[in-house]
Amino acid sequence: MLRWVARRLRTTPVVIALSLARMSEALGNSLLIVMLPLYVAARPSTLIDLPREMLIGVMVSAFGFVLAGSMRVAGRLSDRWGHRKWLILTGLLLMALATAGFPLADGFVTILALRSLQGIAVALVTVPALSLISSTTAHDNRGNSLGLYGSFRMLGFTAGPLVGGLLHHHFGFAAAFLTGSAFILLALVLVHFTVPDDGPARPRSPMVAVDDGQEVAGWSGRSRVTLLVLTFGQLVLAASLSLLGTLENLFNERLGQSALAFGVAFSALTATQIVSQVLVGRLSDRLGRKRLVVIGFALLGPILLTMASVQTSLQLVLLMMLFGATTACTIAPSLALAGDLAEADNVGRDMSAITMGFALGLAVGPLLGGMLASASGLGLPFKVFGGVALLAAVLMGLFATDRYGKSVVGKRADRPK
């Protein structure tokens, strides 16, 4: 069955298996987006005397920082130990246990500890999964594969808050958390039975990168710079995305709309992203990664600047749709480019740099956005972040490369039998 679906979608069975598993995991994990702020408000803190909003901000940022710090460790484990399937299974098990533990939490400190554990768990799932995809796909199909993977994950991410809200409304917190844990366990079962173990780490041929017309063994200077620029770009993208939720109340006050109207606008963003990621991924296999990433950030800047002066709910929906399309232009091609340029025996290290940038953006965005909004209202955060997005486009255009030479990852991928 997986082979048939993989042929139809022009990818490998491993990619389909990981995509389905991440969709289930994302559904279970994204329940917490709705649940945890409500849960923190319902569990007064006796050890930390801070306003409720600040406690929620601390929890969100702590998750982001722990996730970012764990990405590099997960990447090293993936490269040095191998057995990426078992790293993914370990991460899913930790995530399921932590989610099931929330109903037993008696205060903010326990909630914070469980959420931090989930940060470690998400890193153990994300980096090995991306490394497996990069190692089992060829250069001319990697963008398509990562686009599919991202779209499946976003489907779960989009459905999770809705499922969580319904379960909480009708059955309470415990039912929502336990359902989330069940979906994560379902992802564990899918990985166990459908993803082959890649075995222990083994020495591989070094990459031959193309740097200013010269083939260079190992990681070239341009490849290093490209990875740094991609990491910065993902930080900017994630910070911009997290800014939207942080400033939801200010949007609603300015536009005179309800939380439901904002939810509709945000759903427009995710729906556009789901559709666009596959198309953009396939396009990056034909046109190259760098060009699409530059276009994405060049468009993201004006979109963010326009959001600073949005006046109607319809304008917000349309801008959110454009936002979703631009994020698609930056995520899958960036990951595919990192996979193209990665050293064959350090795929986890190089992929973890990109995901670490995204995680840092999730942590920094709400803090910086909240500070700027407190100082000058809704407009300033979007003007600042819009300017930084344009800077990312310039840096990508000037310093990144998407040229590559003979690579085990790019040319002789180990496809599953």
Q: What is the mean pLDDT of the chain?
A: 84
Reported confidence tier of residue 73, pLDDT bands at 50, 70, 90: very high
Domain extent listing, the chain? 1-198, 207-404
**Domain covering 1-198, topology:** Growth Hormone; Chain: A; (1.20.1250)
Give the pLDDT confidence of 179-196 residue by residue, as tens digits: 999 999 999 999 999 888
pLDDT of residue 414: 41
From CA 225, how far away is CA 89, in angstroms rounded?
33
Helix, strand, or coil here: 198?
coil
- Residue among 290, 277, 276, 323 at smallest CA distance from 145: 277
For the chain, percent of residues with pLDDT exceeding 70: 89
64-68, 210-214, 263-267, 327-331, range with the lowest pLDDT: 210-214
- Residue among 326, 320, 12 at smallest CA distance from 158: 320
pLDDT of residue 411: 41
**What is the average per-residue pLDDT within 87-110?**
93
From CA 354, how far away is CA 350, in angstroms rounded?
7
Q: What is the dihedral of CA 126, 132, 133, 138, to 10 degrees?
A: 150
Question: pLDDT at residue 412 above 50?
Answer: no
Higher pLDDT, 20 or 55: 20
**Domain covering 207-404, topology:** Growth Hormone; Chain: A; (1.20.1250)
- Tell me, yes or no, if the two domains 1-198 and 207-404 fold the same way: yes
pTM attached to this predicted model: 0.83
From CA 147, how far away is CA 332, in angstroms rounded?
5
pLDDT of residue 410: 40
